[in-house]
Amino acid sequence: MVTSKKGSALTMVVHATVLFLVIMWTIPTAGLFISSIRDKDQLSVSGWWTALSSSEQKIVYRTPDADSEIQENGLYVLRGNLLEGGSGKVVKFGISSLKPEAFEPGTETQDRRGVTFKIMANGDYEVTSDKSFRRGVRIFYTAEVPPRFTLDNYRTVLSSEGLGQSFINSLTVTIPATVIPILIAAFAAYALAWMKFPGRALLIAGVVGLLVVPLQMSLIPLLTAYSKIGAIFGIEAKGYVGIWLAHTGFGLPLAIYLLRNYISGLPGEIIESARVDGASDFVIFRKIILPLSFPALASFAIFQFLWVWNDLLIATVFLGNTEESLVLTGRLRELLGSRGGNWEILTASAFITIIIPLLVFFGLQRYLVRGLLAGSVK
């Protein structure tokens, strides 16, 4: 009975923890999606959690020039509406940048040049002067704007020039950079787990040590060495071969460590029986180890694919920033501008770029936890 209560309590704790993790992942993802379909002006002044409520925006409006003026009772008059589409209402207005919220809607005021302003809550304005308007006059106002949702952010990203080529470039980089380290690591992991040779323990220690080497510290020396070696064999410094090798090198320590832990946990009786039957190490690896290690291979493939797909630093160093070689993350960076302030582009881009990784994850996710924990559980 006591054991049953303990088991029930542990199950509740596990369920609560999983629920907490799901909520912690879902909330920012929902916020990102909501931001991606909001109007860019509202996105810049309020958070996604206020998406369903009206937002206040401080706007500077310039009236049309003399071409739009009319004459009434000897005065020149400009009329129009401050609110595009007629949605929202004006809560404050001003005629100077020093006091942009000086007046209530419906108030009539005059500047030092004798120009009279009258702004209504619905956005209608009337500007009068005894002289013709050489150019439009500025009106500062604060408006309460109802929530607006649009797909324009996605249209901007999807219609950008060169996006399709960048998508193909990302696939060209990601697929080989995922497959190559898996192939190499699988052989290395089997050797470190079941083959006895001098220095095996030192190699395992070296692999573990390489896990903590910062990527940024080795990136430039690696590029320099690759450029010098490539010059000997006539291989250009900026190209796909270089970035494939770079991602392979940076991904191998984790791949070998993960696969070695899994393979070493496989039942030794199976391997010993195969050796008694005369199977070579290559046959054992191909017919026994690989089929049994698919969960670990799939789990690492997810991590490596996500890492390479979302990479920008290595792609910039080894491929450059030319129009023909830009990967998807590089193309989206160009859309953000030099200051990176276009949040509507950033949020829409995020959802576009996760489509392929989501397909990979959901295709292999049933193997993820099994592959990560199998080595420790066994």
The per-residue pLDDT for 174 is: 93
Question: How far, in Å, CA of 67 to CA of 364, rounded?
Answer: 64
The per-residue pLDDT for 296 is: 85
The answer to the question of residue 5 being in a domain is no
26 token code pair: 């879902």
pLDDT in tens, 48-105: 888 888 888 888 888 888 778 888 888 889 888 888 666 788 889 998 888 888 888 8
Q: Quick one: how far is CA 32 from the chain centroid?
A: 10
pTM for this predicted structure: 0.70
The per-residue pLDDT for 20 is: 93
| 327 and 340 together in one domain | yes
- pLDDT band at residue 371 using 50, 70 and 90 as cut-offs: low
Residue 76 structural domain: 55-145
Question: How far, in Å, CA of 202 to CA of 198, rounded?
Answer: 9
pLDDT in tens, 262-293: 888 888 888 888 888 888 888 888 888 888 88
- The residues pairing with 60 across neighbouring beta strands, listed in sequence order, are 140
- pLDDT band at residue 375 using 50, 70 and 90 as cut-offs: very low
| 251 and 345 together in one domain | yes
User: Please, are residues 215 and 283 in contact by the beta-carbon 8 Å criterion?
Assistant: no
The answer to the question of residue 220 being in a domain is yes
| 300 and 197 together in one domain | yes
pLDDT in tens, 218-230: 888 888 888 888 7
Average pLDDT, the chain: 84
| 37 and 86 together in one domain | no
| 287 and 346 together in one domain | yes
Q: Which residue has the tokens 């029930």?
A: 8
The answer to the question of residue 139 being in a domain is yes
What is the pairing mode between strands 89-94 and 108-110? unpaired
Question: How far, in Å, CA of 297 to CA of 182, rounded?
Answer: 7
The per-residue pLDDT for 340 is: 57
| 181 and 274 together in one domain | yes
Tell me what percent of the residues of the chain surpass a pLDDT of 90: 10
- The residues pairing with 61 across neighbouring beta strands, listed in sequence order, are 139
Q: Which of 125-129, 206-210, 222-226, 335-339 has the highest mean pLDDT?
A: 125-129
The answer to the question of residue 29 being in a domain is yes
What is the pairing mode between strands 55-62 and 75-81? unpaired
Q: How far is CA 290 from CA 237, 296, 303, 369, in A?
A: 35, 10, 19, 18
**17 has pLDDT over 50:** yes
The answer to the question of residue 15 being in a domain is no
Average pLDDT over residues 353-370: 76
The answer to the question of residue 11 being in a domain is no
Higher pLDDT, 373 or 125: 125
42 token code pair: 């509202």
| 39 and 64 together in one domain | no
The answer to the question of residue 12 being in a domain is no
| 313 and 366 together in one domain | yes
- The residues pairing with 139 across neighbouring beta strands, listed in sequence order, are 61
| 192 and 81 together in one domain | no
Average pLDDT over residues 291-308: 87
| 210 and 271 together in one domain | yes
| 276 and 169 together in one domain | yes
- When divided into structural domains, the chain yields a total of 3
Which residue pairs, CB below 8 angstroms and at least 24 apart, start in 94-101? 94/139, 94/140, 94/141, 95/137, 95/138, 95/139, 95/140, 96/140, 97/60, 97/138, 97/140, 100/58, 100/140, 100/141, 100/142, 101/140, 101/142
pLDDT in tens, 124-138: 899 998 888 878 888
